[in-house]
Amino acid sequence: MKKRIFSGIQPSGNLHLGNYLGAIKNWVKLQDEYESIFCVVDMHAITVPQDPAELRRRTIEVAKVYLASGIDPKKSTLFIQSQISEHAELCWILNTIAKIPELEKMTQFKDKTQKNGKESSAVGLFDYPVLMAADIILYDTELVPVGKDQKQHVELTRTLAERFNKKFGETFVIPKAYTTETSENIMGLDDPSKKMSKSAKSEYNYIALSDDEETVRRKIKKAVTDSGSEIVYSDEKPALKNLINIYSLLSEISPKEIEKKYVSKGYSNFKNDLADVVINFLTPLQQKIADLTDEKVLQILEAGAKKVRPIAKKKLEEVKKKIGFII
Ligand code: TYM
Q: Which residues are catalytic?
A: 112, 195, 198
- 278-310 pLDDT, tens digit each: 999 999 999 999 999 999 999 999 999 999 999
Same domain, 14 and 98: yes
Same domain, 147 and 210: no
**What's the chain's average pLDDT?**
96
Number of Cβ within 10 Å of residue 201's Cβ equals 9
Q: Which residue's alpha carbon is nearest to atom 30 within ligand 1?
A: 132
Same domain, 130 and 274: no
Same domain, 194 and 116: no
22 lines ligand 1 (CB under 6 A): yes
10 lines ligand 1 (CB under 6 A): yes
- In the chain, how many H helices and how many E strands? 14, 5
CA of 151 from ligand 1 middle (Å) equals 10
154 lines ligand 1 (CB under 6 A): no
Same domain, 244 and 318: no
- pLDDT confidence bin for 1, thresholds 50/70/90: confident
- 111-143 pLDDT, tens digit each: 889 887 888 899 999 999 999 999 999 999 999
CA of 260 from ligand 1 middle (Å) equals 33
pLDDT score for 182: 65
**CATH number (domain holding residue 20):** 3.40.50.620
112 lines ligand 1 (CB under 6 A): no
In this structure, are strands 4-9 and 176-178 parallel, antiparallel, or unpaired? unpaired
Cβ contacts of residue 67 below 8 Å, gap of 6+?
A: 73, 78, 288, 292, 297, 300
- 181-190 pLDDT, tens digit each: 766 789 999 9
Same domain, 22 and 125: yes
Same domain, 69 and 193: no
The DSSP secondary structure of 131-171, one letter per residue, reads HHHHHHHTTT-SEEE--GGGHHHHHHHHHHHHHHHHHH-S-
**CATH number (domain holding residue 238):** 1.10.240.10
Task: Answer positive or negative: Cα dihedral of 75, 186, 138, 11.
Answer: negative
Over residues 66-84, the mean pLDDT reads 98
How many domains does the chain contain in total?
Answer: 2
- 175-216 pLDDT, tens digit each: 999 998 766 789 999 999 999 998 888 999 999 999 999 999
